[in-house]
Chain A
Amino acid sequence: NAGVTQTPKFQVLKTGQSMTLQCAQDMNHEYMSWYRQDPGMGLRLIHYSVGAGITDQGEVPNGYNVSRSTTEDFPLRLLSAAPSQTSVYFCAAGGHTEAFFGQGTRLTVV
């Protein structure tokens, strides 16, 4: 069972570059979300979606865009990468009873 798949696992960007972190789930969950994890700060919600075509902002949405054209995919776009966006990013599917997390993407912006 694939569950939640994130790609890439590691990425280094230069300041100002843009990129998309991919997230795909095969569990048919309506709810998906993106978090970033920074030392001492736990997981902070970036954006979330309650179904295809519906997205909303979380705690720290600035500098990120999302879209949800299908139930399966929920990509996270960094518009113009900044060093402050260096972090580990987790995608999750599900929320009411249990969230299933991807393996994370470690992003470094230099």
Chain B
Amino acid sequence: ILNVEQSPQSLHVQEGDSTNFTCSFPSSNFYALHWYRWETAKSPEALFVMTLNGDEKKKGRISATLNTKEGYSYLYIKGSQPEDSATYLCAPANTGGFKTIFGAGTRLFVKA
């Protein structure tokens, strides 16, 4: 079972600020790393999936990087907006792509 840690647990920023979160995980038996965005009272929605060391993905103002050798991934949000307020979950999957384990998430609050 993968031990996944996300930091910080919560984050309060002003509109327009750029921010980043960290996801750390055991690097052994790594297969893929998923990032999800989870708004209150909704279901988690996929942002990115990354599989290769050095992968970088971008969707609008949100981007992510992956380091499989040291076991971490960063999620960046440039110019945060109130609608970015959500919990951001990372989920590494082990070899074979199964048994996806989620971190506890980073709860982002963006104040207008």
Contact = CB atoms under 8 A, between A and B. Distances in A.
Interface of A: 31, 33, 35, 40-45, 48, 50, 56, 58-59, 90, 95-104
Q: Using C-beta atoms within 8 Å of the partner chain, give the interface range for chain B.
A: 20 to 34
Interface string B71-95: 0000000000000000001010100
Contacts of A101: 43-45
B98 A40 contact: no
B112 interface: no
Interface of B: 1, 6, 32, 34, 36, 42-46, 49, 89, 91, 93, 97-105
Contact of A42 (B42, B46, B102): B102
A43 B44 contact: yes
Nearest to A41: B104
Contact of B49 (A33, A98, A102): A98
A41 B105 CA distance: 8
A43 to B, nearest CB: 4
A33 B100 contact: yes
Given A43-B44, A58-B99, 4 more contacts: A45-B99, A48-B99, A99-B100, A103-B42
